[in-house]
Amino acid sequence: MLRVPCEERSNWEALADEFGFKFHTMYGEKYWDESAYYQFSLGQIENGIEAPTEDIHQMCLAVVDRVIHDDALLTKFAIPQAQWALIKTSWENGDPSLYSRLDFAYDGSGVAKLYENNADTPTSIYETGFWQWVWLENKVDTQNLPRHADQFNSVQEKLVNRFKEIYALNPERTLHFACCKDTEEDRGTVQYLEDCAKAANIDTKFVYIEDIGIDKEDQFTDLDNQVITWMFKLYPWEFMFEDEYGQILGKQNIRWLEPPWKAILSNKALLPMLWKMFPEHPNLLPSYFEDELHLVPEDMELVKKPIFSREGANISFTNSRGEPLGSASDSDGPYGEEGFIFQQKYSLPTFDGNHTLIGSWLIDDQAAGISIREDANAITQDMSRYLPHVIC
């Protein structure tokens, strides 16, 4: 695994404009960064990332099955009791999942370690499935990369196929796509997924989360008063539970992407639960609930993460007893009311002074590709840059 500096394509911004990739630069800072790429060997991809990704996904499903059937665990996962039935029903009905992203610390030589599972509302899929694919295509066409240069990326193809499979379970339904207002990044992500659904011959519509309404039967409606019967929402389940309409969830004849049972996987309580069920698994970091700190070896430093959090917010470093170390790297944020979990401190590898995080994408249960984020800080946050990769 190498970081290779390279020339940017001279026309890439015009191309981004042509394809509607609007969030390549945010707040005056580069987000899409093609001044370098990461190079992997096929073995690193297949043995180091692809195989563990599919294994861990199966382990995660085992956790869901355990938690669903244990009220004490549902409480530990900070899931409101009013939503237990919704989540259980969706799991027992086998509601299909579209996608998720596992984040790994991996340097190409050791074993990839799971940081967390973005199972509910993962982003950067457009950059991964489409935009870095185009980058490699252009680089090969202009002979800046060898013809045999490959990439771990069948994301878009698998997405379209997965939409076809799920459509077969919801024939004739229109699929509504939704995200919050005023976020170009989320809007772009949802547009991409909508394009993939259209490619699967699905009728689609878009509605902003804030514009969703209800009729007198508590069915959800869009701005044309059309009843919503199938919805992809780039909006976390834990937010939906907290919102006003959270209390009527479960009354509608509606299918969700991601399904409600994903609330158990996008939850940091997943990490100590995985460690409990699969102790000493090479791809897992030791992780603990707040009431388990007595199990932590004396010399182990920990990372304290809120049960619900996005984009690296509210993360801090502690000693083995959970006491803060007051590190300059600690991040603040609006999360943590619902409790925390602790995970062994395990630093991201650095390449040319950048901390590098690998996102490994799953379409349903199949590993489909990777995304790479770089940050100057040890905790990758929402301003980390996206870099393409090749397999050579």
Partner 1 sequence: MKRTSFLDLKLMRKRSRTFVLAPISLAVMAGCSSGPSEEEVKFVKSVAECESTTSLSEADCQAAYEQALKDAEATAPRYQYERDCENEFGNCQRTSSGFFVPFMAGYIVAEIIDEVGDSFERKHRYRHSYPTYLYSGSGSYRNKIMTSDGFVVGSPGQRSYRMPREALKPKPAVTRTISRGGFGSAASAKSNWGSAKSSRSSRGWGG
**Interaction with partner 1 in 251-280: which residues (CB under 8 A)?**
266
Judged by CB under 8 A, the chain residues 194 through 213 that form the site for partner 1 are 195, 198-199, 203, 208-213
- Dihedral angle sign, alpha carbons of residues 124, 122, 156, 104: positive
Q: State yes or no: residue 3 binds partner 1 (CB under 8 A).
A: no
What is the size of the binding site for partner 1 (CB under 8 A)? 76
Judged by CB under 8 A, the chain residues 223 through 252 that form the site for partner 1 are 224-227, 234-236, 238-240, 242-245
Q: State yes or no: residue 214 binds partner 1 (CB under 8 A).
A: yes
Which residue in the set 99, 104, 115, 133 belongs to the binding site for partner 1 (CB under 8 A)? 133
* DSSP assignment of 229-248: -EEEE-S-HHHHHHSGGGGG
Select 212 or 274, whichever has its Cβ closest to partner 1: 212
Q: How far is CA 283 from the centre of its chain?
A: 18
Q: 39 - beta bridge partners?
A: 2, 390
Please give the Cα distance from 286 to 299 (Å, whole number). 13
Give the single-character DSSP code of 46.
I
Pairing of β 99-105 and β 36-40: unpaired
Which residue in the set 2, 8, 11, 19 belongs to the binding site for partner 1 (CB under 8 A)? 19
Contact characters 291-330, partner 1, x per CB under 8 A: -------------------xx-------------------
Stretch that binds partner 1, among 19-27, 65-73, 81-89, 162-170 (CB under 8 A): 19-27
Judged by CB under 8 A, the chain residues 113 through 132 that form the site for partner 1 are 118, 121-123, 130
Stretch that binds partner 1, among 11-19, 56-64, 82-90, 271-279 (CB under 8 A): 11-19
- C-alpha pair distances (Å), 61 with each of 20, 47, 70, 387: 36, 21, 15, 30
Select 94 or 334, whichever has its Cβ closest to partner 1: 334
Q: State yes or no: residue 335 binds partner 1 (CB under 8 A).
A: yes
Give the single-character DSSP code of 153.
B
Judged by CB under 8 A, the chain residues 32 through 91 that form the site for partner 1 are 42, 45-46
Q: State yes or no: residue 151 binds partner 1 (CB under 8 A).
A: yes
Are the beta carbons of 205 and 176 closer than 8 angstroms?
yes
Please give the Cα distance from 315 to 271 (Å, whole number). 15
Torsion angle of the four alpha carbons 69, 70, 73, 75, in this order, in degrees rounded to the nearest 10: 100
Q: State yes or no: residue 136 binds partner 1 (CB under 8 A).
A: yes
